[in-house]
Amino acid sequence: MKTETRALSFFELCDELAKKQDSLILFHTRPDADAVGSAFALKLIIEALGAKAYCLCADELPRRLRFLTDSFDRLDSVGQIDSYRVITVDCGSASQLGSLYEHLKPSLAIDHHRTSTPFCDGYTDSAAAATAEIIYEVSQDLIERGALTSLPRRFYECVYAAISSDTGSFRYSNTTPNTHRIAAEIIARGIDAADINHSLFESKTLSELRASAAATDHLSTYIDGRVAVVAFSAEQLSRLEIEREHYDVFIDVARSLAGAEVAFSVRCAPGDRYCRVSMRSCGEVDVSRICAAFGGGGHIRAAGCTVELDDVNEVVKRVLKEIEKQL
């Protein structure tokens, strides 16, 4: 494993991506719209340059993101992998690549996570609300240089969906004037932003709505209501028949409780020997520091970690103890 990694400047990133080079684009497990949107937008840039590109993930495409693409590419259909440049997007650590990291060694990482463990040379901009903001800026630079003439409408739809998703439809504190500027430029191109936002936020399956109702039932508060928690054991999740791809609603329910400064969800999925923790801050608490204490990371107001224990109550206790230090 390479120990020395180099942080690229934005111009070096653009120089690298201006090369016509066949590429594999990897993104994190449990993919979200920023991971998928950034990867497919980058694929369209590389294809516009005249090279081949494949988007790979260790997990399946979640049903709710199928409006962005039909499917991911498969490693076994790529052929001779040695001839490809390997790029990661929206991925803060090698472990987030899952099983792909056993087969592929990335040479370029493009990311916006504040706490990240570099695993190869890369460009990180933690001021970017989404990795797709970086991909968009690169595309504009390549157009200015004359390396690219135009990009398909799909490119702009992917970037818009990624940014809207990571900003909670421009509501979260990571939303900047630059985020709105990029969104405005994209909408001016005639994409259907309302339709994308409907797919992202307003179209839920019955099972997802049931997951949300169960999360509301399981909501607890601690430290005078300053901390909101939704926790599910493996046994509860299988009894309630909540599907894996809807686990994300737990943190959304917890963070919507008025007065909560910190919200977190803990769940042990059926068959897992560990708990997954998602955390959000609505106040001063830096949740990336709390998650870093458990080997995870993320952003100041949105972070996560994995705790190698299947006892959900014990994990809630340990996380609360860490939060108390900052409250």
Rounded Cα gap, residues 294 and 140, in angstroms: 38
Work out which of 16, 34, 157, 245 binds Mn ion, going by CB under 5 A: 34
Q: Which stretch binds Mn ion (CB under 5 A): 54-62, 130-138, 286-294, 308-316?
A: 130-138
Residues 291 and 284: beta-carbon distance below 8 Å: no
Nearest CB to Mn ion, comparing residues 34 and 157? 34
Enumerate residues 6+ apart whose C-beta is below 8 A from 297: 92, 93, 113, 114, 115, 116, 117, 288, 291, 303, 304, 305
Mark 79-118 with x for binding to Mn ion (rule: CB under 5 A) and - for no binding.
-----------x----------------------------
Nearest CB to Mn ion, comparing residues 162 and 214? 162
Nearest CB to Mn ion, comparing residues 38 and 265? 38
Q: Is 121 in the site for Mn ion (CB under 5 A)?
A: no
Q: Long-range contacts made by residues 49-52, C-beta under 8 angstroms, separation at least 24?
A: 49/18, 49/19, 49/20, 49/142, 49/147, 49/148, 50/20, 51/20, 51/21, 51/22, 51/23, 52/22, 52/23
Q: Which stretch binds Mn ion (CB under 5 A): 27-35, 74-82, 119-127, 177-185?
A: 27-35
Nearest CB to Mn ion, comparing residues 130 and 316? 130
Shortest distance (Å) from residue 311 CB to Mn ion: 30
Shortest distance (Å) from residue 226 CB to Mn ion: 27
SS3 96: helix
CB neighbours of residue 238 within 10 Å = 13
Q: What backbone phi and psi angles, to 5 degrees, belong to 85?
A: -80, 140
Q: Which stretch binds Mn ion (CB under 5 A): 45-53, 75-83, 124-132, 230-238?
A: 124-132
Q: Which of residues 138-177 bind Mn ion (CB under 5 A)?
A: 166
Closest C-alpha among 73, 92, 96 to residue 22: 73
Q: Which stretch binds Mn ion (CB under 5 A): 17-25, 28-36, 43-51, 139-147?
A: 28-36
Residues that bind Mn ion (CB under 5 A): 34, 90, 131, 166
